[in-house]
C-alpha cells in the first residue's frame, strides 16, 4: 500500500460526500493530521491560518466520518469520501463550493 509523500509539505485533501459525490470542501493535511484521520476515522486537517491541527467539527459538531480514502498517482493529494454530520462550510452551507462563476465564452 502506498503512503502519502509529505516531503513537499502539506497534502491537498478533497472532501466528497460519500452518498452524493458532491465536493464538500478542500483542506490540507500534514503527517500528524493524516495519522489522526487514520486512527480516529474522522477528518483532521492542518489549519494554515491558525498553524495548528484542526479536528473538523470540534467546535461546530459538524464532524466528518471517513468512509473511503484515495491517494493520487503522485502521492501528494488525497480524496476522502465522508459522511457529514452537518454542513462542511464555515458559512453554514452544505458545501464550500456554492459560488458559481460566470464563464466568458468567445474571445
89 is in an annotated binding site: yes
- Strand extents, DSSP E, 1-107: 11-17, 23-29, 44-47, 52-55, 64-71, 77-84
18 is in an annotated binding site: no
17 is in an annotated binding site: no
**What would the pLDDT profile of 21-52 be if each residue is shown by its tens digit?**
999 999 999 999 999 999 999 999 999 999 99
Instruction: Return the pLDDT at 107.
Output: 62
pTM of the model: 0.90
Instruction: Return the pLDDT at 40.
Output: 98
Q: How far apart are CA 103 and CA 89, in angstroms?
A: 24
76 is in an annotated binding site: yes
**Domains with residue ranges and CATH for the chain:** 13-84 (3.10.20.810)
Q: How far apart are CA 37 and CA 35, in angstroms?
A: 5
Residue with cell 454530520: 85
74 is in an annotated binding site: yes
The residue among 17 and 107 whose pLDDT is bigger is 17
Amino acid at each position: 500500500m502506498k503512503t502519502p509523500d509529505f516531503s513537499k509539505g502539506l497534502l491537498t485533501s478533497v472532501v466528497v460526500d460519500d452518498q452524493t459525490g458532491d465536493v464538500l470542501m478542500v483542506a490540507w493535511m500534514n503527517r500528524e493530521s493524516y495519522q489522526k484521520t487514520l486512527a480516529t476515522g474522522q477528518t483532521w486537517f492542518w489549519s494554515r491560518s491558525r498553524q495548528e491541527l484542526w479536528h473538523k467539527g470540534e467546535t461546530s459538531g459538524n464532524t466528518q466520518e471517513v468512509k473511503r480514502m484515495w491517494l493520487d498517482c503522485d502521492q501528494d493529494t488525497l480524496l476522502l469520501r465522508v459522511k457529514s454530520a452537518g454542513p462542511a462550510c464555515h458559512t453554514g452551507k452544505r458545501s464550500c463550493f456554492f459560488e458559481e462563476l460566470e464563464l466568458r465564452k468567445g474571445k
